[in-house]
Amino acid sequence: MHLVIRTGDFKRAIEKLPAHIRKLCDEQLLILGSNWRDSRLHIKKLREFDGAYSFRITRNYRGQFYFDVHDNIIVFDADHRKDSYRKRRR
């Protein structure tokens, strides 16, 4: 079991998403905290940001996270998949 910490950036990003996506994100975060390797999350390692991963909220929305030195999960972004990875390349 991992502690899931939501950053301020994540909280601001999630507020911009539709209500039903926010609800699904909360459900996925529960899964992430209990088993980050759960196949329902479709975890992918990010090439653009060393040590970071993405997880599926829905087919079109992704969240991004990394592990801190205490093995906590730090969730730092959520967005539509077409925009999610593009931000990291800037």
Domain containing residue 41: CATH number: 3.30.2310.20
The predicted-structure confidence for 4-53, as pLDDT tens digits, reads as follows 999 999 999 999 999 999 999 999 999 999 999 999 999 999 988 889 99
The rounded Cα 76 to chain-centroid distance in angstroms is: 7
Q: Locate all alpha helices (DSSP H) within 1-90, ordered by sequence.
A: 8-15, 19-34, 81-88
Count the domains in the chain: 1
Q: Identify the domain containing residue 79 by its residue range.
A: 4-88
Structure token pair of residue 44:
């992918």
Q: Are residues 54 and 62 in contact, defined by beta-carbon separation less than 8 angstroms? A: yes
The predicted-structure confidence for 42-59, as pLDDT tens digits, reads as follows 999 998 888 999 999 999
Strands 4-6 and 73-80, bridge-based pairing: parallel
